[in-house]
Amino acid sequence: MAKKVVIDPGHGGTDSGAVGNGIIEKDYNLKISKYIFDRLKSLGVDVYITRETDETLTPTERVNRVLNAFGNSSDVLVVSNHINAGGADGQSVTNIKYNN
Ligand SMILES: [Zn+2]
């Protein structure tokens, strides 16, 4: 069964995420996520992105967008992009599976 992919750019709007050295995490999360979204779409993958602009999402809104994209199904892969500073350094990709 073909996988469906939800790309989630972490943070956004009033939630900047990590800030340092002139870098604002939410902006890079969005750029990285848009690249992944466009690339997967061009390859014919069913893909959805939780935000395409610098928009504030509550945790509930974010989860609802994830769940509404393709439903809560085992064939949906969720990729939430973050760039960490502090306890964990560097780039990370978290794959969230809501269903087994
Ligand atoms: Zn983050």
Do 49 and 37 meet the contact criterion of CB atoms below 8 Å apart?
yes
Ligand 1 centroid – CA 55 distance (Å) = 15
Ligand 1 centroid – CA 85 distance (Å) = 8
pTM for the model = 0.84
**CA nearest 53: which of 23, 79, 26, 86?**
26
Query: Six-digit token pair at 32?
Result: 């990285």
- Domain residues for 14? 8-96
Domains: count for the chain: 1
Q: Is 3 inside a domain boundary?
A: no
Q: Across the chain, what does the average pLDDT equal? A: 88
Helix ranges (DSSP H) in 1-100: 25-42, 59-70
CATH of the domain at 17: 3.40.630.40
Ligand 1 centroid – CA 86 distance (Å) = 11
Predicted pLDDT of residue 28: 95
Predicted pLDDT of residue 100: 40
Q: Is 28 inside a domain boundary?
A: yes
pLDDT tens digit sequence for 31-69: 999 999 999 999 999 999 999 999 999 999 999 999 999
The answer, yes or no, to whether residue 98 has pLDDT greater than 60, is: no
Burial class of residue 84 in the structure, from the number of CB atoms within 10 Å of its CB (0-12 exposed, 13-18 middle, 19+ buried) = middle
**What percent of the chain shows pLDDT beyond 70?**
83
Ligand 1 centroid – CA 75 distance (Å) = 25
Do 18 and 86 meet the contact criterion of CB atoms below 8 Å apart?
yes
Ligand 1 centroid – CA 92 distance (Å) = 9
